[in-house]
Amino acid sequence: MNAQEMIETYVNEVATELPRGQRDDVAFELRALLNEELQARAEGAGREPDAAMAKELLVAFGRPTEVAARYRPTLTIIDPADGHAFLRATLIGLGVIWGAGLLSHFSSAPFESIEQFLGALGQFWVRTLVASMWWPGVLVVGFATASWIRRSSPRAADWTPRDGVRTTGDRVGLAFAIIGMAFGAFVLWDPRWVLDAIFGGLFGIKAAPIAYTALTYTEGFLSGAGPWLYAAVLLNVPFYGAVLINGRWTPMLHRAALAHGAVTCMLMAWAVLDGPILKTEAADSMAKALLVLVGAMSLMFLVLEVRREVRPKPDLGAATGG
């Protein structure tokens, strides 16, 4: 390939990365400029332009995709300010999904044969690792939308002061949430009540006996993690009641909420690992899946809350003066 062919190839690679309307004109100008640059170099070196000289010029000019990008306004999908948050959310989310996948596909370990292990590995690969790519995709769309909104309405992204540790927002909303928590606790005391309320109340008939069995707690659960977990769930009602009366999260309430959340997560893990919760296998699997989901989300929320805590103090050990 001679110098001229090299320039033609390079210009073509740059131009194909540009919008169609701009392509030909930029290509014509770029080729003329590169030829002029090459001629000047050749005159400076006191010899005819050759392929090596052209290659040196084009390498210094930059990779065609980078050069094409310089011809256009910068396109930012995710704001640089969001880069760390995006990476953190991606890694934490993938960690949770992969962890849940490991538990789900390798819960029957130790395996009886290598084929069984490879089968589980294959399932983990396809159903968890490959399938988990939806999470970064969702994050890209979310962060890109936030970035676009901030650029479209810069005032909407202005910083606004927060009251105290964290405002609770609408008190009416919080009151409804407490009522919801109390109702949820009531249902959890004996889930069979739901069947009576629906079938007995509306149609005057009883649900099938198997439905009652499905929603009956096992003895093991009732004598193990059950009462503790129920107490932790019930504790939400006075807790949020205190926030409602107080009007905001105080530092003490905030710390107590974190501790309560951590204990609840541990109790949920105990309940999942400590044998069946409900008497039928299908209902038990469903209940455990829900507990794992709620537990994972609570844990993620807790980790984020702890990470967001700031206690201003000088880091004397990190000072670099002297």
Partner 1 sequence: MGDTDAFSKVESELRRGAVVLATLSQLRTPRYGYELRQALADRGMPIEEGTLYPLLRRLESQGLLKSEWRIEDGPPRRYYALNADGKKLLKKLAESWQDMNGTMTRLLKED
Which residues between 91 and 130 bind partner 1 (CB under 8 A)? Answer: none
Q: Rounded distance, CA 67 to CA 50, Å?
A: 23
Q: Rounded distance, CA 106 to CA 121, Å?
A: 8
Of positions 13, 37, 79, 284, contacts partner 1 by CB under 8 A: 37
- Minimum Å distance from CB 70 to partner 1? 4
Of positions 62, 173, 227, 275, contacts partner 1 by CB under 8 A: 62
Q: Rounded distance, CA 298 to CA 277, Å?
A: 20
- The residue (of 60 and 156) whose beta carbon lies closer to partner 1 is 60
Of positions 11, 15, 30, 229, contacts partner 1 by CB under 8 A: 30
Own/partner long-range contacts of 62-71 (Cβ < 8 Å, ≥24 apart): 64/10, 64/13, 64/14, 64/17, 65/17, 67/14, 68/14, 68/15, 68/17, 68/18, 69/17, 71/14, 71/18, 71/22, 71/26
Pick the piece of the chain touching partner 1 (CB under 8 A) from 70-78, 164-172, 259-267, 295-303: 70-78
Q: Tell me if 24 contacts partner 1 by CB under 8 A.
A: no
Of positions 70, 155, 311, 313, contacts partner 1 by CB under 8 A: 70
Classified as helix, coil or strand, 41 is helix
- Minimum Å distance from CB 5 to partner 1? 18
- Minimum Å distance from CB 49 to partner 1? 15
**Residue with structure tokens 């069979």?**
192
Q: Tell me if 73 contacts partner 1 by CB under 8 A.
A: yes
- Minimum Å distance from CB 54 to partner 1? 13
What the block records as the tokens of 246 is: 């107080």
- Minimum Å distance from CB 37 to partner 1? 6
DSSP character string of 77-137? SS-GGGHHHHHHHHHHHHHHHHHHHHHHHSTTPSPSSHHHHHHHHHHIIIIIIIGGGHHHH
Residues that bind partner 1 (CB under 8 A): 22, 26, 28-30, 32-33, 35-37, 40, 60-62, 67, 70-73
